């Protein structure tokens, strides 16, 4: 049977995160994502020059709301972000570490720029993988903290977040000045995704320094709609829309561990089975679905989900071998 | 949309004077301005009033390509001038044009093959410009078949259904639009379609408005390319907006700024 092949003219931009010594940073290696010339894993139509990357999430304050089954693999390091990061990059083999500066939240630790800088410095010296750093989500606090964080990590070519259409300028400025990449988030809206990329580039950050966060839900929580938005981002890239041709990040763990199916304890709904296996499975199924939709960076939480996801990606990236 | 800049034409007074004086500067300026405005090709026409069209065409092509890498649409009915232009050209030229007359096809198509050029085929023959869409499409089909005989595929062929001035021959516009639809069904892949846009507004008032309106109508009928004034910002804004309305590009609030920025080089 002859395969009908689609011929695309465009490609997803490549974005490199992390700077090694020869590029002015202190990372042992950098991570490059994007560069696809076809739909996800259709090896007969296009290339996937860079395999999707896995980031594990580290908080700068013990995450009280994480269920016990998720806290358990990090039990000894939950109050030490540097040790936590070391565990993710070492024992659990993360391609990237994502540091969430949750303690800055006025309703949580209410810490400020100085504390955030100290945490970032300690994590940078604890691990040599590239870093993703995101704020607490409070716009005013993030605008105060993130510029200081960007400066503390200057030259490390981190991925910083999260820029939104209503609040992007100070984060873009710090990325431009300190040489970082940016996460541009849009609320499941392809038009805003494109618009925000344009606004960011108008401030002088190069298009190949932008990663799109189209926002995603967990399995069972509107993931089909996320899938269709991500598919349109990829199709836009392949059709030559340069202001959509950025790689995509998805916060898988954040969404999956919010789902009832991952949070309910063992005895809540007995026929659902034990929470540990269930939660990991929920995170993994969410991740593999978003992978098929075109995710380039998947931020996960449970190390077992990360491990299984890595094996799954191994199979996907080699599945084209032997197919002409 | 493939955009072909129309300004290097001896009919324009500044170009006519530059040709007469062999002054390269106005040609350079027009080539740069049109390339920056987003032209994929620059149409080059000596105008009717030159003594030595061969030499002038060679000079115009060379002069334009001294300052830009843009390919040239060599616009002449004079075969010798066409050959001179092709010989002077760097890269892949566009021949503007052949008609559907057999003798003409047998002259132009071998040249296209020899120089690896693309060709514009006008939907007319020795009887002139057809009145309706069906006759235009029939000639287009003959051009596609003749090109195929010479080993030139539809991907290297542009069919121009010939739009006439609305102030003179109003009944042609709907026929041209219908031809644009029909030509897409001629082959798989189909040849591209093209119009010489400014012709539609010859002798009319509100020329720019007539051009803009017809362009958006033609794009809706599948038009692939146009010879037009790429430095007309209002016209270029229509191209950008039609690309959005035809769902060829994703809408965003700044789409126009992005299109303009891309064209600002």
Asked if the Cβ–Cβ distance from A236 to B250 is below 8 Å, we say yes
Asked if the Cβ–Cβ distance from B257 to A198 is below 8 Å, we say yes
Residue ranges of chain A whose CB lies within 8 Å of a chain B CB: 190-192, 194-195, 198-199, 232, 236, 239, 241, 243-244
Judging contacts by C-beta atoms under 8 Å, the chain B residues touching residue A231 are: none
Percent of chain A with pLDDT over 90: 94
pLDDT digit string (tens) for A85-142?
A: 999 999 999 999 999 999 999 999 999 999 999 999 999 999 999 999 999 999 999 9
pLDDT digit string (tens) for B166-187?
A: 999 999 999 999 999 999 999 8
Asked if the Cβ–Cβ distance from A190 to B258 is below 8 Å, we say no
pLDDT digit string (tens) for A40-73?
A: 999 989 999 999 999 999 999 999 999 999 999 9
ipTM > 0.85, yes or no:
no
Q: Helices B207-220 and B233-245 sit at what angle, rounded to 10 degrees?
A: 20
The closest CB to that of B252, out of A191, A232, A239, belongs to: A191
Asked if the Cβ–Cβ distance from A195 to B248 is below 8 Å, we say no
Residue A4: per-residue pLDDT: 78
Judging contacts by C-beta atoms under 8 Å, the chain B residues touching residue A191 are: 250-253
Is the model's pLDDT at A176 over the cut of 70?
Answer: yes
Residue B116: per-residue pLDDT: 97
Is the model's pLDDT at B265 over the cut of 50?
Answer: no
With CA atoms as reference, the chain B residue closest to A201 would be B258
Tracing tokens 């507004």 back to the chain, one arrives at: B201
Mean pLDDT of B235-249: 95
Q: Shortest Cα distance from B10 to chain A (angstroms)? A: 36
Residue B262: per-residue pLDDT: 73
pLDDT digit string (tens) for B62-120?
A: 999 999 999 999 999 999 999 999 999 999 999 999 999 999 999 999 999 999 999 99
Residue A321: per-residue pLDDT: 64
With CA atoms as reference, the chain A residue closest to B243 would be A241
Judging contacts by C-beta atoms under 8 Å, the chain A residues touching residue B258 are: 198, 243
Chain A interface mutation, best of B2, B250, B253, B262, highest count of A Cβ atoms under 10 Å: B250
With CA atoms as reference, the chain A residue closest to B255 would be A195
pLDDT band at B261 (very low <50, low <70, confident <90, very high): confident
Q: Shortest Cα distance from A190 to chain B (angstroms)? A: 8
The closest CB to that of A191, out of B248, B251, B258, belongs to: B251
With CA atoms as reference, the chain A residue closest to B254 would be A195
Judging contacts by C-beta atoms under 8 Å, the chain B residues touching residue A198 are: 252, 254, 257-258
Percent of chain B with pLDDT over 70: 99
Residue A6: per-residue pLDDT: 85
pLDDT digit string (tens) for A185-224?
A: 999 999 999 999 999 999 999 999 999 999 999 999 999 9
Asked if the Cβ–Cβ distance from A244 to B250 is below 8 Å, we say yes
Residue A324: per-residue pLDDT: 44
Percent of chain A with pLDDT over 70: 98
Residue B48: per-residue pLDDT: 85
Residue B193: per-residue pLDDT: 98
Residue ranges of chain B whose CB lies within 8 Å of a chain A CB: 248-254, 257-258
Q: Which domains does chain A have, with CATH numbers?
A: 14-317 (3.20.20.20)
Distance from C-alpha of B96 to C-alpha of B45, rounded to nearest angstrom: 9
Judging contacts by C-beta atoms under 8 Å, the chain B residues touching residue A241 are: 249-250
Asked if the Cβ–Cβ distance from A239 to B248 is below 8 Å, we say yes
Mean pLDDT of chain B: 95
The closest CB to that of A198, out of B248, B249, B258, belongs to: B258
The closest CB to that of A195, out of B248, B249, B252, belongs to: B252
């Amino acid at each position: 049977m002859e395969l009908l092949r689609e011929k695309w003219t465009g490609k997803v931009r490549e974005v490199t995160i992390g700077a090694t010594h020869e590029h002015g940073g202190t990372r042992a290696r950098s991570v490059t994502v994007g560069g696809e010339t076809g739909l996800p894993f259709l090896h007969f139509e296009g290339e996937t020059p860079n395999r999707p990357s896995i980031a594990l999430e580290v908080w700068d304050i013990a995450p009280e709301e994480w269920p016990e089954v998720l806290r358990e693999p990090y039990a000894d390091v939950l109050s030490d972000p540097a040790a936590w990061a070391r565990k993710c990059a070492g024992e659990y083999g993360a391609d990237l570490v994502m540091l969430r500066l949750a303690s800055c939240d006025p309703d949580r630790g209410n810490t400020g720029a100085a504390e955030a800088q100290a945490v970032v410095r300690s994590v940078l010296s604890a691990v040599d993988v590239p870093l993703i750093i995101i704020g607490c989500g409070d716009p005013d606090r993030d605008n105060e903290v993130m510029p200081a964080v960007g400066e503390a990590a200057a030259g490390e070519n981190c991925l910083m977040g999260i820029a939104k259409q209503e609040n992007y300028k100070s984060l873009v400025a710090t990325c431009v000045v300190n040489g970082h990449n940016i996460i541009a988030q849009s609320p499941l809206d392809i038009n805003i995704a494109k618009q925000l990329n344009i606004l960011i580039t108008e401030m002088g950050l190069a298009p190949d320094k932008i990663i799109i966060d189209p926002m995603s839900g967990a399995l069972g929580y509107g993931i089909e709609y996320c899938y269709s938005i991500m598919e349109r981002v990829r199709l836009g890239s392949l059709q030559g829309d340069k202001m959509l041709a950025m790689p995509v990040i998805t916060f898988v763990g954040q969404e999956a561990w919010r789902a009832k199916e991952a949070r309910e304890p063992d005895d809540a709904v007995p026929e659902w089975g034990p929470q540990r296996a269930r939660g990991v499975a929920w995170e993994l199924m969410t991740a593999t679905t978003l992978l098929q939709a075109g995710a380039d960076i998947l931020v996960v939480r449970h190390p077992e989900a990360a491990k299984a996801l890595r094996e799954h990606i191994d199979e996907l990236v080699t599945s084209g071998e032997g197919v002409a | 949309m493939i955009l072909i800049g129309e300004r290097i034409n001896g009919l324009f007074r500044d170009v006519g004077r530059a040709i007469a004086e062999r002054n390269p500067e106005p040609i350079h300026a027009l080539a740069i301005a049109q390339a920056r405005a987003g032209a994929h090709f620059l149409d080059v026409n000596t105008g009717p009033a030159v003594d030595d069209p061969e030499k002038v065409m060679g000079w115009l092509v060379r002069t334009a390509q001294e300052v830009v890498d843009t390919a040239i649409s060599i616009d002449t009915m004079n075969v010798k001038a066409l050959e001179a232009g092709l010989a002077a050209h760097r890269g892949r030229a566009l021949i503007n044009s052949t008609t559907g007359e057999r003798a003409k096809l047998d002259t132009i198509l071998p040249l296209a093959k020899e120089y690896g050029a693309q060709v514009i085929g006008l939907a007319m023959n020795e009887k002139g410009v057809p009145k309706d869409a069906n006759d235009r499409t029939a000639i287009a089909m003959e051009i596609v078949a003749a090109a195929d005989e010479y080993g030139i595929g539809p991907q290297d062929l542009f069919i121009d259904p010939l739009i006439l001035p609305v102030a003179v021959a109003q009944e042609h516009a709907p026929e041209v639009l219908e031809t644009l639809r029909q030509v897409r069904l001629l082959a798989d892949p189909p040849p591209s379609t093209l119009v010489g846009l400014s012709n539609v507004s010859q002798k009319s008032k509100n020329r720019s408005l007539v051009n803009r309106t017809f362009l958006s109508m033609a794009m809706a009928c599948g038009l692939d390319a146009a010879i037009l004034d790429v430095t007309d910002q209002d016209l270029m804004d229509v191209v950008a907006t039609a690309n959005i309305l035809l769902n060829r590009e994703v809408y965003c609030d700044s789409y126009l700024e992005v299109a303009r920025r891309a064209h600002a080089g």
